[in-house]
Structures are given as structure tokens and as C-alpha cells.
Amino acid sequence: MAGSGFRGDPRQLWRALQWTMKGFAAAWRHEASFRLEAMLVVVVCPLGAWLGRGALEQLALIVPVLLVLAVELLNSAIEAVVDKASPEFNELAGRAKDMGSAAVFVLLVTAVLSWVLVLAGHHG
């Protein structure tokens, strides 16, 4: 992990895990979209593991849903930085936030499409 500061020290790994958990907690506390998508992950991922016929179908059902959550975290981070850097209205700031939201939407569509295609294949 070049450049990350990790040198095989378990304490550094532990600190990194703590920062990760702080990130999840902040997203849960401050982002309604993250809470909704996290609840979706809790329901949909086990369902995808159960419905998928084999590892590839399971991946096709689970991975897009997890990616939605990951991109939502990135979108929330972008929004927080933009709000800090430009608290007043700014066209570029608005554009950055809108693009982050669009990225989440693209992954939501991808997740729905994956589910439709996999489950339609079960009936065809």
C-alpha cells in the first residue's frame, strides 16, 4: 500500500478501520439517502445471494447494489466538500453536486437492470 502510511503495523490498520467506521457513522447520521440505500443493501444482498443461480448471478445481483452505496458515500463526500468550500450558491458547486447525484442514479439503474436481466433469465 504505497503512500498510505501502512507499514505492516496492526495499529495503523486498526486506525484505518476506525476512520472507516466514522465515515459510515457520519453518512448514517447526516445522509437520508445513505440510510435508505444501506437498508436496501441489508435486504437485497442476502436476497441476491439466495436468488442467484451460481456465483456469477449472485455477483450480478449483489455488486451493483454495493456500488450504489459506495458511490453514495463518494457523492456525500463531494457534497460536504463543496458546501464547505462554497457555502453560497455557485454554478460550478451546483454542477459538481448534480453530477455526483447523477452518478448514484446511473448505478441505481444498473442495479435494477442487473436484477431484471438475471431474474428474467430464470423464467426464459
Q: What is the pLDDT of residues 90-117, one digit of tens each?
A: 999 999 999 999 999 999 999 999 999 9
Please tell me what DSSP assigns to residue 47.
H
At 61-92, the pLDDT tens digits run 999 999 999 999 999 999 999 999 998 989 99
Class of domain 32-123: mainly alpha
What are the cell numbers at 2? 504505497
Residue numbering of the annotated binding site for substrate: 72, 101
Q: Spell out the residues 6+ positions from residue 12 whose beta carbon is closer than 8 angstroms to its own.
A: 5, 6
28: nearest Cα among 58, 63, 69, 59: 69
- Which pLDDT band, with edges at 50, 70 and 90, does 1 fall under? very low
Catalytic positions, written as ranges: 72
pLDDT tier at 5 (50, 70, 90 boundaries)? low
Question: d(Cα 33, Cα 84) in Å, to the nearest integer?
Answer: 20
pTM: 0.87
Angle (CA) 46 40 56, round 5°: 40
The binding site comprises 31, 72, 79, 97-98, 101
What's the CA gap between 16 and 5, in Å, rounded?
Answer: 10
Phi-psi region of 27 (alpha: psi -120 to 50; beta: other; left: phi over 0): alpha
The ranges assigned to domains in the chain are 32-123
Which tens digits make up the pLDDT trace of 20-46? 999 999 999 999 999 999 999 999 999
